[in-house]
Structure 1
Amino acid sequence: MHVLKSLRAALVTAVAGTALVAVPATTANAAPPTSAIEVSSTTLHPGDTLTVTQTVYNTASFTITGAKGGLYAQGLPLTDFVDLVSCTGAIICYPFDGHYRADFGDLPGGESRMAVFTFKVRDDAPGSYTLRHQLVGDNYSFDALTGPVITIVPNSADVGVSLNAVAQGLLRSRITYTITVTNNGPADATGIRVTTAYPAGMSYAGSSNCARVGTTRTVNCDVASLASGASTTRSFSADAGLLTLGSFTATAQRTASSPSDPNAANDAASRSCTALTSLLVRC
């Protein structure tokens, strides 16, 4: 009797153990999402290139005819933000009703397709947007899914200004002021103007690349364009008068450039010289 009870207990334990082991084996692998995307960057500037890789998967048991991958900006036309440069992996890619599509043709159940979109950020792109994506077809469409937020940062060019002054000769009263303009980037700069002011008691003596404003002591030095990382110089001369004695200071200030300048700390410079007599000036 004792042996029979032991066998019965062992059998119950074995059955119970088998049931416990069998539970994990019934868990099935989850199907891929109907659309998935990868983006090359989520922070961009106007003119930058953005790559979006979209993979679509038909989870239905039937063929989706005319299957397409769709890319959208949530609540806004994606075409306002980016222009399509190229597309690979699809039959054709094209803008459609404010968004972009990749045409894959018919897509049987359980199969996937992939397209790589290359976009260029528009110069007038309005700001940030949430990227959405979807598998759509002629006979069936899946829900649109939410992707990352794409942030478009306006271009900027940090234009720096420095000023140097050289007195020409020991017994000369003429001072040549040289303005160095440097574009620290990241973007190229255009329409640069540096406005300089020479001290009272001095008279303008000319320039080959700056212009005096009327009869004032203000001189504008313009640079039409300057590549990121490049520097250029502008210069003008002024003569000390008979009453120009002691220390006197000239100033230079960036007053215009495009795109916006994010750093005001290096926009201005000054340089002082000393007149011991009207004919003896040191800088």
Structure 2
Amino acid sequence: MQRTGRRTALLAALTTAVLFAAPAVAAAAPPASTIDVSATTVRAGSTITVTEQLYNPTDFTVTGAKAALYTKEKPIVDLVDLVSCAGSALSCAPYLSSFRGAVGDLGAGESRTVTFTLRVKEDVQPGQFTLQHQFAGDNYAFAVEDGPAVTIAAPDKADVKVALTATPRPGLVARVDYVVTVSNTGPATATGIRVTANPGSSRTIVSTTGCTRSGTALTCAIATLAPGASAKAKFTSEGGFFAWGAFTATAQRAASTPADPNAANDTASKKCTAYTGLYVQC
């Protein structure tokens, strides 16, 4: 029993010695720079933010520290415009093929954050680019590192087409019924569609469906149309018993979202001729 007890005590002592002798594992230092982007798919004209974190892992002060932002495939200044930035000691600005935000001197172990707000240029072509980032200073600069890939998608478009038909109505006042047909040929869903219409000179609007009247002008709110969908609005005009001569009614797209790529089909017109109020030909 005495020999067994000695062995147990010796094993415990050796285990304690090994544990205390084992070196502590130091925590890995953060990288000199990292970035985070608010969206990885953007379109022409859209705005994104890129947040760059700087950390000084050296044992000396980096003077004139700056957050630098690039793109790999082509200069970032050709793809986006700098709207603003936050966190920099001075205003951010383009520098050669990069955007830079100065944060002043950065001591050993210190960190700073700069957030760039960028707007994709209106004329940029769809494609993919790789964001790159760098901690740069006046006395020392770290390597340029690859960040996330950002896709510039094809812009949303919805082609809203306007058509107009006219049907003379028998009577004594040269009455004509009009139908405004609004269709969306896509490819995206169209929202906020608004069409304006006018019955032509010397005409009086006497009824509407789907439109509101202001004097001799009409505004027809269509709201939303999915690709391939259409909607109709109607109005009726009169010229009176003594109506005579030609008149032209028009309808035109006044607003819709997203952008309409084809202005050629935004307007429609219909010419009619009155031969007194008894007879109208369209």
Is residue 3 of structure 1 aligned with residue 32 of structure 2?
no
Identity %: 35
Is residue 184 of structure 1 aligned with residue 225 of structure 2?
no
Which residue in the other structure is 1:124 paired with? 123
Query: Which ranges of structure 1 fall in alignment gaps of 5 or more residues?
Result: 189-204, 211-221, 240-278
Shift of 1:167: 3.9
Query: d(CA) in 1 for partners of 2:270 and 2:87?
Result: 60
Is residue 227 of structure 1 aligned with residue 278 of structure 2?
no
Q: What does 1:39-58 correspond to in 2, within 5 Å?
A: 39-58=37-56
Give the one of 41, 57, 60 matched to 2:58.
60
Q: What does 1:162-177 correspond to in 2, within 5 Å?
A: 167-169=167-169, 176=178
Shift of 1:238: 7.3
Q: Secondary structure at the match of 2:122?
A: coil
Which residue in the other structure is 2:142 paired with? 142
Compared CA separation, residues 206 and 153, structure 1 to 2 (3 A) = farther
The answer to whether the 8 A contact 1:131-1:150 is kept is: yes
Q: Secondary structure at the match of 1:62?
A: coil
Shift of 1:235: 4.5
How large is the Cα RMSD of the aligned pairs? 3.7
CA offset digits 1:182-232 (Å, max 9, x no partner): 5934799xxxxxxxxxxxxxxxx863337xxxxxxxxxxx65x63317998
Which residue in the other structure is 1:16 paired with? 15
Shift of 1:159: 2.2
Query: d(CA) in 2 for partners of 1:55 and 1:186?
Result: 39
Query: d(CA) in 2 for partners of 1:207 and 1:166?
Result: 10
Compared CA separation, residues 139 and 229, structure 1 to 2 (3 A) = closer
The answer to whether the 8 A contact 1:66-1:106 is kept is: yes
Give the one of 3, 10, 24 matched to 1:26.
24
Query: d(CA) in 2 for partners of 1:186 and 1:150?
Result: 27
Shift of 1:128: 2.0
Compared CA separation, residues 136 and 143, structure 1 to 2 (3 A) = same
The answer to whether the 8 A contact 1:162-1:181 is kept is: yes
The answer to whether the 8 A contact 1:35-1:57 is kept is: yes
Which residue in the other structure is 2:108 paired with? 109
Which residue in the other structure is 1:158 paired with? 158
The answer to whether the 8 A contact 1:130-1:148 is kept is: yes
Query: d(CA) in 2 for partners of 1:27 and 1:66?
Result: 33
Query: Which ranges of structure 2 fall in alignment gaps of 5 or more residues?
Result: 194-245, 261-265, 274-278
Which residue in the other structure is 1:71 paired with? 69
**Amino acid in the other structure paired with 2:181:** I
Shift of 1:35: 0.5
Query: d(CA) in 1 for partners of 2:133 and 2:258?
Result: 39
Compared CA separation, residues 170 and 7, structure 1 to 2 (3 A) = farther
The answer to whether the 8 A contact 1:165-1:177 is kept is: yes
* TM-score of the aligned structures, taking structure 2 as reference length: 0.62
